[in-house]
Amino acid sequence: MTEEEKAGFIEATMPTGFKQMLTAFEQLPEDKRRKTVDDALRRLRQSQSRMQAAESEDGQPSTNGPPIISDELQAKIRTIGLTTFYSQSSAQTKAELAPVLEELQRVMESGRPFRGR
């Protein structure tokens, strides 16, 4: 896909997808919401560990890294996701998902997912 096609696809599908995920999350019983958050945090941390382990000795990412997404498209994805999250979710959902957002922030601050791009 070209960058323009990727951007169009993201703009057309992400807001609806995020709304559906938020609605499904909010309909879960409290114990399942807690488990979902715990699982998401565990997977984020495992992914971070795998990325660290996959780097070669010269500090370059492995050849099987995630697809390259332009900085502009990454910014668009973050904006759409966060705008949808903050405008469409309840206060309780925002509070329950705060640890996931904090972990994502730590991953982003490390810069590790974007090295070599």
Domain residue spans in the chain?
3-54+68-114
| Distance between CA atoms of residues 41 and 47, nearest Å | 10
pLDDT in tens, 46-91: 887 777 776 655 556 556 666 677 888 888 888 888 899 889 899 9
pLDDT in tens, 4-19: 888 889 889 988 988 9
Place of tokens 């996931």: 100
The structure tokens listed for 19 are 């709304």
| Distance between CA atoms of residues 11 and 77, nearest Å | 8
**Is pLDDT of 43 > 50?**
yes
Nearby residues of 80 by Cβ (< 8 Å), 6 or more positions away: 10, 11, 14, 15, 18
Nearby residues of 56 by Cβ (< 8 Å), 6 or more positions away: 62
